[in-house]
Structure 1
Amino acid sequence: MIRTLIVDDEHYAREELKLHLASDPAIEIVGEAANAIEALPLIQRLKPDVVFLDIQMPKLSGMELVAMLDPLPRIVFVTAFDEYAIQAFEENAFDYLLKPVEPARLAKTLARLKQDISPQPVERLAPTIEHIPGYLHNRVRLLPIAQVEYAFSDLGGVHVACQGELFHTQLTLKSLEEKSLLLRCHRQYLVSPKAIFEIRLLDNQLAEILTPSGARVPVSRRYLKELKDQLGLD
């Protein structure tokens, strides 16, 4: 079964999509949300395989929600506006559907989802990213991974700290973790092993990393032991 969550501020749009999806026995609708703020804890708790996500919603857009998710489920954007398509795929969208959703087009999306979610042999690939495209004002710079101190995500997207400057990147934290040597130290932070000048242990099993530039990178309880193991520390 493909565990599915629907996020749309229009009740009719949610009901119509649910009706289409219910005809496929491989789809299990585990929940729905009327806005992105409501959707965030649902996604974290239910861990759906795929989220059918509207883009234009009040307070928090679908794009902003995606920037906050880590790990990222498969995202199928569903919107009445086609001008967001390029940005959607830059945000690692699985697919992009226009409203009103055509059943034949939805069927193609579901077929791809079934193929993608079916069990595949797991093979850990070697890191492949040597540079990160970094954006700062009107500049685009290819940031060498060896010079990156840390990366983090917030409402504004994913940011990379390199040589004392903070760049925006369109890559996700998940892809940076999988394809570079950056280590996970927090749900929203990755750090370079070369940039760990000092690890300071704090109260409540928390910690922070001090980098050569003087930045303080948080380490959560969840990732502290794993990080110490990866660094060969007791």
Structure 2
Amino acid sequence: MKPASALIADDEPLLRERLRSHLAALWPALTVIGDARNGAEALELFELHQPDIVFLDIRMPGINGIATARALARRAQLVFVTAYDQYALQAFEQGAIDYLVKPVDPARLADTVQRLQRQLAAPLRPGQGLEDGLDHVLEQLASRLGQRAAPPAWLQWIKASVGSSVRLIPVEQVRYLRAEEKYTLVAWDEGEALIRKSIKELGEELDPARFVQTHRSVIVNLAYVSVVTRGINETAELHLRGSADTLPVSRSYLHHFRQM
């Protein structure tokens, strides 16, 4: 089994350092790939490194821990780190997500480490263990903490290979996406790249208020559309600002641009 890796997300620097130190003592083989101060940083680091475990503070500025957990969508083992009392912690009774109470007690953390090691050594079948009832627990936790149950966070970055490096492209810099056989071409402010993700998958992950499909093979960032030229047979052509690029609009998607 490959060495396990983890990400720590908390807006308190001292807590991040103490948790890292305790983990180093309790689980020397664990690699902590980085620290995040908020949910946005946590999601960026997760997409870049794909750690096995994420330690998440519930209350963080911007994207909170609950919304971050939803965005991770069961792709990692989750451990919430919380300062809340037992009333709030009742949401964890199902065991779908582990938790630690601030300040972190090394003995309690040792129990969590053992549980995580067991989970990683014997991969779970769908619907068991830490993943069981995740959505329900997040709903309960949000309710008990007086927060609205956050919807899944839209995609914030697209990971792409550019030359010999891997780039995290902020979605706000993406001009358009175009299907290219088994790949999708991502055109953004600094260039182009091919990724192994379909237009359909990307369309489900992008904020529909910012990105719309114009053709079965094209998605455009509305912020970059400068001119819409109507064509024949209920079609159109999009002209993008700061570029000579044009994109087709088929009749099935023309309704997105009738008011432009």
Matched, 1:36 2:39: yes
Could you tell me the TM-score, scaled by structure 1's length?
A: 0.52
Out of 51, 57, 69, the residue aligned to residue 54 of structure 2 is 51
Counterpart CA distance in 2 for 1:123 and 1:156 is 26
Other-structure match for 1:85: 89
Would you say 1:62 and 2:56 are equivalent positions?
Answer: no
Q: Are the equivalent residues in 1 in contact too, given 2:38–2:61 (CA < 8 A)? A: yes
What amino acid maps onto 2:49 in structure 1?
A: L
- 2:194 is the alignment partner of 1:202: no
Q: Specify the code of the residue in structure 2 equivalent to 1:203.
A: V
Q: Which ranges of 4 or more aligned residues in structure 1 deviate by more than 6 Å?
A: 122-125
- SS of alignment partner, residue 76 of structure 1: strand
Which residue is equivalent to 2:158? none
- Counterpart of 1:19? 21
SS at the partner of 1:52? strand
- Residue 70 of structure 1 aligns with an amino acid whose one-letter code is A
Q: Which amino acid aligns with 1:16?
A: R
Q: Which amino acid aligns with 2:102?
A: K
SS in 2 for 1:105: helix
Match for residue 76 of structure 2? 73
Residues 60-104 of structure 1: CA deviation (Å, up to 9, x unaligned): 2100111222343111001111344344578x8530110111111
SS in 1 for 2:11: coil
CA contact (8 A) 1:70 1:187 kept: no
Within 5 Å, give how 1:170-185 maps onto structure 2. Answer: none
Instruction: State whether residues 58 and 64 of structure 2, in contact with CA within 8 Å, keep that contact through their aligned partners in structure 1.
Output: yes
Aligned partners of 1:74 and 1:93 also within 8 Å: no
Aligned equivalent of 1:8: 10
Residue pair 2:66, 2:150 contacting (<8 A) in 1 also: no
Give the distance between the partners of 1:72 and 1:41, measured in 2 at CA.
14
**How many equivalent pairs are there?**
143
Among candidates 93, 111, 118, match of residue 114 of structure 2: 111
Cα separation, partners in 2 of 1:14 and 1:72, compared to 1, 3 Å: same
| Secondary structure, aligned partner of 1:72 | coil
CA-to-aligned-CA distance 1:162-193 (integer Å, 9 cap, x gap): xxxxxxxxxxxxxxxxxxxxxxx526849xxx
Unaligned runs of 5+ in 1: 126-131, 134-154, 159-184, 191-199, 205-234
Q: CA deviation at 1:45?
A: 1.3
In structure 2, what is the equivalent of residue 102 of structure 1?
105
* Partner amino acid, structure 2, of 1:5: L
Alignment identity in percent? 37
**Residue 97 of structure 1 aligns to a residue in which SS?**
strand
